[in-house]
Amino acid sequence: MVSAGDIRNGITIEFENNVYQVIEFQHVKPGKGAAFVRTKMKNIKNGGVIEKAFRPTERFEEARIERNDMQYLYNDGDLYYFMDVNTYDQIALSKDQIGDSLKFVKENEMVKICSHKGEVFSVEAPLFVELEITETEPGFKGDTATGTYKPATVETGAMVMVPLFVNEGDRIKIDTRSGEYLSRA
């Protein structure tokens, strides 16, 4: 159990039959009245953000989030299949559960499956991936100083903005959190 007085950034609690992660908190001691804790919390299952104030004596159950390394196998229509490489157990997740978290992930790559009490709520891609450019306009030699970008399609089908000197067939490094080009691989 966690009391409201012990709330810190990043802690995950169960509140009103949902699981929330604390984004911001502030201990407030007004001139009159009792102290309280003002929080901003994100629902980790649906992404909604709420603001809530608690008395310091209120208690919550701390939520245990499991992050398991699994291998992305393939997709079959609306289902995406993953395998635990230690036990060889396979699970299938729907497109709604995945969202767009796999747009930079190729088949057979490792991802983290996040779950709470056995219910999967998200898939975390690796922070950085190396992918090949499959389609883009031809680049020009010497176009490195302008800072201008052009659209490119990578081997997973996702669109990325890349510098003008990047050509088809080049391998690039991408930050999966923002979808930004980092460098040539």
Q: Do 48 and 23 fall into the same domain?
A: yes
Task: Report the C-alpha gap between 61 and 27 in whole angstroms.
Answer: 20
Q: Do 107 and 94 fall into the same domain?
A: yes
Q: Do 136 and 178 fall into the same domain?
A: yes
Q: Do 55 and 71 fall into the same domain?
A: no
Task: Report the C-alpha gap between 60 and 63 in whole angstroms.
Answer: 9
Q: Do 71 and 118 fall into the same domain?
A: yes
Number of domains present in the structure of the chain: 3
Q: The domain spanning residue 37 has which CATH number?
A: 2.30.30.30
- List pLDDT tens digits, range 139-150: 666 555 667 888
Question: SS3 letters for 95-156?
Answer: HHHHCCCCCCCCCCCEEEEEEECCEEEEEECCCEEEEEEEEECCCCCCCCCCCCEEEEEECC
- List pLDDT tens digits, range 121-160: 888 888 888 888 888 888 666 555 667 888 889 888 889 8
Q: Do 54 and 86 fall into the same domain?
A: no
Is the pLDDT confidence value at 61 over 70?
Answer: yes
- List pLDDT tens digits, range 166-180: 888 889 998 888 888
Using a cut of 0.85, tell me whether the model's pTM lies above it: no
Q: Could you tell me the residue range of the domain that residue 175 belongs to?
A: 128-184
What lies within 8 Å, CB to CB, of 32 at 6+ separation is none
**What pLDDT is stored for residue 184 in this prediction?**
80
Is the pLDDT confidence value at 99 over 80?
Answer: no
Q: Do 80 and 42 fall into the same domain?
A: no
pLDDT band at 51 (very low <50, low <70, confident <90, very high): very high
Q: Do 119 and 136 fall into the same domain?
A: no
